[in-house]
Structure 1
Amino acid sequence: MLAIYRRILGEPGTALFSATGLVARLPISMVGLGIVLLVEARTDSYGLAGLVSGVTLASNAALAVPQARWTDRLGQSRVLPVAITIWGAALAGLMWSVEQSLPLAATFAFAAVTGAALPAVGSCVRARWSYALADNNQRQTAFALEAVADETVFMTGPIVVTLLATAAHPLAGLTAALVAGVVGTLALSAQRSTEPPPHPRVVERDARPRMPWATILPLSIVSLALGALFGAAEVTTVAFSDEQGATAYAGPLLAVWAAGSLIAGVLTGALTWRRTVLQRLRIGAAAMTLTMLPLALIDSLWAMAAALFVAGFAIAPTLIATISLAEACVPPARLTEGLAFLQTGMVAGVAPGAAFAGLVVDARGASTAYLVSAAGGAIALVAALLTRVTGVVGAVPNHGAVHEQHSPAGVRSDETQGQAPIPGTTRRTRRQTPP
């Protein structure tokens, strides 16, 4: 089963950019929590800590898409070093501002720049995979691998930042995030051989590739609903553990949930699917809704662990299908921008989901609050049902995303894999400029 993973990681440069991309993404799961731990330790106010962290999330959601657009136009090697340098300086300024008890305006200003400058490394890495691999089966596996990397980041990052901030120094967790982000992103941007070529802005608006909004907007809503599901589940699980008199078990419960998603992600990339990507997206969204519903009836830690593990199996396949469908439909010249809409939607959904779950916890108890996560799954399902595959760069066959130069419309990739290219089609190679 793992042979296909060895195959894609054996392509020139792919293992290196995937590994450095993993390191560069660690701040995504470390900075928000690190800010909360630092600000609370210095001000004894969780409210202020949450507000400063929220400013970084809001500014990141506001500037992620424009930054991704610049990355498509200018190239990763030009945008990423500038963005990560500004991010590192702003985060260092934020840490200094809190440590020195500077006016709150300075702290909020540093927080805003920190969020705005954080590069969308996940989108950049997936764009590299799309450029480096011509075969749609392999790209499907690559997106599954990156979903596993995301789960790894969100499983390890919070643990590392918490241990460093509580056992060493309140600044230690954010310092580790700063080093990982700067070193990882600079190492990624230095890898020019696997970098997608830039697509300079065209003067004529008619010549600019059009964004397939009928696909991207519903997928962005799917991502927003997923973010709400995640935010609600995290808050609810912490509250559930507290109600059970075992607050320390909140982390392990969330880790079990993530483990189920990680296993499903590995399996998704290794299997050959006979359903289209859009069908798998809809099935995944339905599965998320149905698997979250029983959690509202559980009143046992062990039963909750088992139920969360099962529910996790619906997460990664849904994420992979969402990204694969976007990759299939968005023109290569705007791929990073298109993927950034999905990432922005997910980030923007976390806070509302957590807030609604908190209100339900206060009113009806923790178990009932899992219905907020189920509602997030239901919204994702509705958005998936409304998704229309329009403006497609190529066919969207049964095995993930594919561009028209890889296989003709209506032909499954397993029917063409290993054969000579069909007349009228050409296979994209890593050093060719995508059309």
Structure 2
Amino acid sequence: MESECMALSLVSADPVPRPTGRVICDPCGVLSTYRSILTVPGAAIFSLSGFIARLPVSMVSLGIVLLISSASDSYGQAGTVAAAYLLANAALAIVHGRLVDRYGQFRVLPAAQLLYSVALVALVWAVQTDQPQAVTLVAAAVAGGSLPQIGSCVRARWNHVLDDQGKLQTAFALESVIDECLFVLGPTVVTTLATVWHPVAGLAVAGACGLLGTLALAAQRRTEPPAHPRTADAVRPPMPWRTVAPMALVCASLGVIFGAAELTTVAFAEDQGAKAWSGPLLGVWALGSLAAGLVAGAITWRSGPERRVRWGVLMLGATMLPLTVVDSMWLMAFFLLIGGLAIAPTLIAALALTAAAVPNARLTEGMAVLHTAMGIGVAPGATIAGIVVDHYGSSAAYLVPAVAGLIGAIAAWLGRAPVPSPA
């Protein structure tokens, strides 16, 4: 998941709002709240382009697992290649953010996307022609390292076109819901294509969507945030690490949960003789998150986002514990749906704290830091879970995301509320 990557945030001038009343949700006003931002000129089209461009985030890592496990019959090898893809993406996400902030989306996104497309084709070729694993790993690393940071770019556009903090909060909540839509749609599509049609088909569709969506987004110059080229006398605003670092640790823990749960669920479905249903199972998990994210964007919280991060990541890890003893597809779907309810609110709160503190000139980079941390977590999560699956079975592997949730909660409790970022 880039949950997407799943990320994903609320931003306001007061980063830690503390209304004194109860949590308030006005169902009748939800649609009008979201409609108010989508009618801003150019907003609906760049949000839609971003949705299409981000489909690889929810499809490619799972597509790699399905492709390689089908070719080699080893989830450990599949997890290793997926980890190379995700680690490279994490390692270069901050670089992507800096380049976009400095040179603009129009110049950076197409170049990165074209390199990504070529590398993804090379990855498929290496697996299909039985090349040495080193070749596959290099292709996966190049693909992951060149994947454009679309989620950060879309949120930067919202920050540029909206000057009302209330609407900005709604816009970022909308993007969180869109991210969850990706993880409802993406795993189901890639699994169906890979298991019913051909193992390569899912990756091919993901690559085509990424290419078309990214080029469409980059072409929309009217809503593009201005570049901030560095000059000799320019003073680079500092990154508020007191806020960003703890949230990065939280996102790394979330990444472990996502990577481990994704691979383990595929293995669980295969153990049940229904591998084709692994995508829908993961889609149910994301569906719970989507519903929670939609509600989270339309209510007034009594608690501040720092508290929601602490309890959210702990609850997400705790919901993995029952999965260690589940032996039914229907029960698995039920518990994944319940667990998914904690995903979007936790991600929204984590990025709210970060985005409220990061200067505008480094906003894309700041968002990329959290995406980087999440990618760093996804890679070992997938790898460790793959090893556990190979040696102890799929049920035991659900302990990996459970432990990660506990670690993330500890990191969240060590964090501090942010100081508002400069205008």
Structure 2 counterpart SS, 1:209: coil
2:190 to 146, 161, 167: 161
Say yes or no: does 1:119 pair with 2:152.
Answer: no
Relative to structure 1, the CA distance from residue 36 to residue 229 in structure 2 (aligned partners, 3 Å threshold; closer, same or farther) is closer
Q: Which residue of 2 aligns with 1:372?
A: 400
Query: Could you report, residue by residue, the CA deviation over 1:159-207 in whole angstroms, capped at 9, with x for unpaired residues?
Result: 32333334444443222222111110010011111111111124357x1
Equivalent-residue separation in structure 2 for 1:201 and 1:176 (angstroms): 38
TM alignment of 1:18-97, pairs within 5 A: 18-39=47-68, 48-97=77-126
Relative to structure 1, the CA distance from residue 55 to residue 134 in structure 2 (aligned partners, 3 Å threshold; closer, same or farther) is same
Q: Which residue of 1 aligns with 2:265?
A: 237
Relative to structure 1, the CA distance from residue 250 to residue 168 in structure 2 (aligned partners, 3 Å threshold; closer, same or farther) is closer
Q: Which residue of 2 aligns with 1:401?
A: none
Q: Which residue of 1 aligns with 2:338?
A: 310
Pairwise CA distance, 1:125: 0.8
By relative contact order (CA 8 Å, sep 6+), the higher-ranking structure is 2
Structure 2 counterpart SS, 1:210: coil
Q: Which residue of 1 aligns with 2:348?
A: 320
Relative to structure 1, the CA distance from residue 259 to residue 105 in structure 2 (aligned partners, 3 Å threshold; closer, same or farther) is closer
**TM-score, normalized by length of structure 2?**
0.84
Say yes or no: does 1:193 pair with 2:218.
Answer: no
Query: Could you report, residue by residue, the CA deviation over 1:369-411 in whole angstroms, capped at 9, with x for unpaired residues?
Result: 43432222222211111222345316xxxxxxxxxxxxxxxxx
Pairwise CA distance, 1:120: 0.7
Equivalent-residue separation in structure 1 for 2:392 and 2:118 (angstroms): 44
Relative to structure 1, the CA distance from residue 110 to residue 308 in structure 2 (aligned partners, 3 Å threshold; closer, same or farther) is closer
Relative to structure 1, the CA distance from residue 137 to residue 291 in structure 2 (aligned partners, 3 Å threshold; closer, same or farther) is farther
Say yes or no: does 1:331 pair with 2:386.
Answer: no
CA RMSD, 1 decimal? 2.7
Pairwise CA distance, 1:250: 3.8
Equivalent-residue separation in structure 2 for 1:326 and 1:380 (angstroms): 16
Q: Which residue of 2 aligns with 1:411?
A: none
Q: Structure 1: where are the runs of 5+ without partners?
A: 395-434
Q: Which residue of 2 aligns with 1:413?
A: none
Structure 2 counterpart SS, 1:67: helix
Equivalent-residue separation in structure 1 for 2:189 and 2:145 (angstroms): 24
Amino acid at match of 2:62: L
| Count of matched residue positions in the alignment of Structure 1 and Structure 2 | 394
TM alignment of 1:260-409, pairs within 5 A: 260-296=288-324, 298=326, 300-358=328-386, 366-393=394-421
Pairwise CA distance, 1:79: 0.6
Most deviating of 221-230 and 109-118: 109-118
Relative to structure 1, the CA distance from residue 82 to residue 288 in structure 2 (aligned partners, 3 Å threshold; closer, same or farther) is same
Pairwise CA distance, 1:132: 1.9
Equivalent-residue separation in structure 1 for 2:397 and 2:195 (angstroms): 29
Relative to structure 1, the CA distance from residue 97 to residue 355 in structure 2 (aligned partners, 3 Å threshold; closer, same or farther) is closer
1:180 to 209, 214, 222: 209
Query: Could you report, residue by residue, the CA deviation over 1:49-97 in whole angstroms, capped at 9, with x for unpaired residues?
Result: 5444332222211111111111111111111011111212222333344
Structure of larger gyration radius: 1
Query: Could you report, residue by residue, the CA deviation over 1:122-152 in whole angstroms, capped at 9, with x for unpaired residues?
Result: 1111111122222222222222221222222
Q: Structure 2: where are the runs of 5+ without partners?
A: 1-29
